[in-house]
Structure 1
Amino acid sequence: MSTTIFEPVHSGVLNLKNRIVMAPMTRARNADGIPNENNALYYRQRSGAGLIVTEGVAISDTAKGVLHIPGLYRKEQVEGWKLVTKAVHEEGTVIFAQLWHVGRVSHTSIQPEGKAPVAPSAIQASNSHAWGWNENGEEGFLICSPPRALETAEVAGIVKDFQQAAKNAIEAGFDGVELHGANGYLIEQFLNPYINTRTDQYGGSIENRSRFLLEAIDACIEAIGADKVAIRLTPYGGLHELPQYDEIEETYRYLAEELSKRKIAYIHLMDQKSRGSFALPEDFLVRFRSWFTGTMILAGGMNREKAETLTEAGTIDLAAFGEAFIANPDLVERLKNNWPLTPPDRSLHYGLTLNGYTDWKTYEEFIPEREK
């Protein structure tokens, strides 16, 4: 019997009303880093999705690469997120927090005491941008600062930051956490041998380069349970200057098999072709599915036809939609009814105003205007 993206699915804590996922998207709406009623409204509006994964949430004050993002490392942040999880749960939707450390994709102006960002190795992302303060005190996109290589002993501290953020997420009412292991941020920086040139136990072989990722996963599992822990990955991704390398397929097979053993909630893959980077090779999803025995999500260039084709084939379990959810808070209903989508306005994606955040109309709200 074929599946459909509008039917419920049950897997561990993922008791979902449909197979549609709202993918994580940075919105930069929290000047103080504390979620509030506006954030709760934003996520409630989009709770037609079976699963929501929040925007990237900083796990510490050194984890940030963008101004005005929320965190999960202070008590008041935990209290703020309770507003969001309560709102989403009232709509019957499951919500995971995406735990984020940007590594070298940051700027000294948003690091504590203006210090250098940390990374596996002291290799600058010299053509990539963070969102910080310039020398005139004006905020905007800035070339990422040269990073400092983490000392071996410091890596365990970041693992503990992930673990504590996971604990804080459960306290805040989240159903689970998704570690951000994608898009050229810290976890993926460790995986890439051109960015990670370490000679200790975190560099060199595939097993060593994967060690930080698996240690962070294991620490979160220890804290909140495997069925509440997930990860986002971008195999073949090149965002933030991650070069392709010969062992990509072997690396992700190793990770898939290791994560299968741990019985985590899901793996969330993203095809970065939609972001102007490298596309997943043909049949890679099929191969990855043979390596990973758990729930799989795919994001990147998703539409209804692609989502239904891949879920009905059993290639993926859940289909994630990103940017379309911004301008279409009722995206699930629009997909179900084949209603047209409102195009996004990227000039409104970031910023501290509610314009372009909670003021997008549903399709039905447009009807009175069309009848005038």
Structure 2
Amino acid sequence: MTQTPQSPAASRLFEPARLGGLELPNRLVMAPLTRNRAGADGVPGELMATHYAQRASAGLIIAEGTTPNAVGQTYPHIPGIHTPAQIAGWRRVTDAVRAAGGRMFLQLQHGGRVGHPDTSGHVPLAPSAVRFPEPLQTPAGPREAVMPRVMTEEDIRDTVADFARAARNAVEAGFAGVEVHSANGHLLHQFLAGNTNLRTDGWGGSIEQRIRFPVEVVWAVAEAVGPERVGVRISPGAHVNGVREDDTERLYPALAAALADLRPVYLHQVHADPDLPLFAELRKAWPGTLIANPRLSHEDLAADAGLRQGERLLAEGADLVALGRGFLANPDLVERLRTGAPLNRIRPEFLMHVSGPEGYNDYPVLARAQAA
């Protein structure tokens, strides 16, 4: 007998879910997306408040990577959460999202060696003296990366404390919680990866010692704001920003098991692939909520593959599904996927290192698109 195809509206992606103390209206998460729209001082402005409020129908918004201290800044116009003005700026954003019915976490991101003195005013810190392999964007344009300063024991302790302070600042700014960024070649990932962590002390070498810094950061953040307000993002096997791992299959189950003891509310896997054994291993090692972010190309987005891959990830054990570029180009992505409506095409020329509302706040919602 021929079965009737399931309509998009019947997908589990549109079922409500619970995340700690939050009730989510659906299982679609807006992934953190760096867009360089903060002020030169890292203060979020009205552009950012509008952008996130437009996307408040997501089950959860995870706001873009935000620096916990000045030395952790990656690129120009990246927001921070370590000054009173930055806290006040984010408060305007969270107020706008809350007024639109949304829920929001803030990603805490320290760039480590992904930074430049011309941008932050500081020589970047890193686990080891391994230079970033490519030019970095600065206020004056692309510049060759500088050799980072190797973190001392005092630097490590200070950075852990800065993450905890940033988490408290985020809660003060109105966020429901924070995501600790341990992915995509930034500082915590640099401690995990063998080609960027060459240390021979207690913070490098074995898997147990390479995971120590991310685990201590998560512990300090959970102590500061409560584990129910803390998530962690990882990117197993991702060769991003020059990091390389040679023991991914052993590294991440060990990290997940160590983090599980701290009881953060979720683990967020970038480019999750249910066809790879690691996805099942992480699901086995992680007792809490698992957010899966599928790998999607621009062509996939146009074909609504986010819906199909999201359903597959839920079927294989994920609890929530994070989409990035889909939300970037479609403020009303949830409704478009629910109704099977076509998706807006991304304008890649406006993704990063630009300013203004174009390619940021001017993507049409369904009513405007249909009228056009």
Same fold? TM cut 0.5: yes
Confirm or deny: 8 A CA contact 1:268 1:298 kept in the other structure. yes
**Cα shift readout 1:175-210 (whole Å, capped 9, x = no counterpart):** 000011000000000011221011111111111111
In structure 1, the partner of 2:284 is 290
In structure 1, the partner of 2:3 is none
Matched, 1:8 2:11: no
1:142 is displaced (CA, Å) by 3.2
Q: Residues of 1 paired with 2:90 and 2:120: CA distance?
A: 23
Q: Residues of 2 paired with 1:263 and 1:88: CA distance?
A: 27
Confirm or deny: 8 A CA contact 1:58 1:100 kept in the other structure. yes
Q: Residues of 1 paired with 2:294 and 2:34: CA distance?
A: 15
In structure 2, the partner of 1:333 is 335
Confirm or deny: 8 A CA contact 1:271 1:280 kept in the other structure. no
1:319 is displaced (CA, Å) by 0.6
| Structure 2 residue matching 1:262: 3-state secondary structure | coil
- What code does the residue aligned with 1:110 have? T
Q: 1:197 to 1:307 in 2, by over 3 A?
A: same
Confirm or deny: 8 A CA contact 1:160 1:219 kept in the other structure. yes
In structure 2, the partner of 1:358 is 361
Q: Residues of 1 paired with 2:11 and 2:328: CA distance?
A: 26
Q: Residues of 2 paired with 1:301 and 1:205: CA distance?
A: 29
Q: Identity over aligned residues, as a percent?
A: 38
Confirm or deny: 8 A CA contact 2:53 2:102 kept in the other structure. no
Q: TM-score, normalised by structure 1?
A: 0.91
**Cα shift readout 1:148-195 (whole Å, capped 9, x = no counterpart):** 111122100000110000000000010000011000000000011221
Q: TM-score, normalised by structure 2?
A: 0.91
Q: 1:281 to 1:132 in 2, by over 3 A?
A: farther
Q: 1:281 to 1:108 in 2, by over 3 A?
A: farther
In structure 1, the partner of 2:103 is 94
Confirm or deny: 8 A CA contact 2:191 2:197 kept in the other structure. yes
Indicate which of 112, 127, 132 corresponds to 1:125: 132
In structure 1, the partner of 2:261 is 261
Q: Residues of 1 paired with 2:217 and 2:276: CA distance?
A: 30
- What code does the residue aligned with 1:62 have? V
248-257 or 228-237, larger mean C-alpha shift? 248-257
1:266 is displaced (CA, Å) by 0.3
Q: List alignment gaps of at least 5 residues for structure 2.
A: 1-9, 297-305
Q: Residues of 2 paired with 1:141 and 1:269: CA distance?
A: 30
**Cα shift readout 1:300-337 (whole Å, capped 9, x = no counterpart):** 335101111221x2520111110121111111111111
Q: Residues of 1 paired with 2:244 and 2:196: CA distance?
A: 8
Confirm or deny: 8 A CA contact 1:29 1:68 kept in the other structure. yes
- What code does the residue aligned with 1:319 have? V
Q: How many residue pairs are counted as aligned between the two chains?
A: 352
| Structure 2 residue matching 1:232: 3-state secondary structure | strand
1:261 is displaced (CA, Å) by 1.6
140-149 or 53-62, larger mean C-alpha shift? 140-149
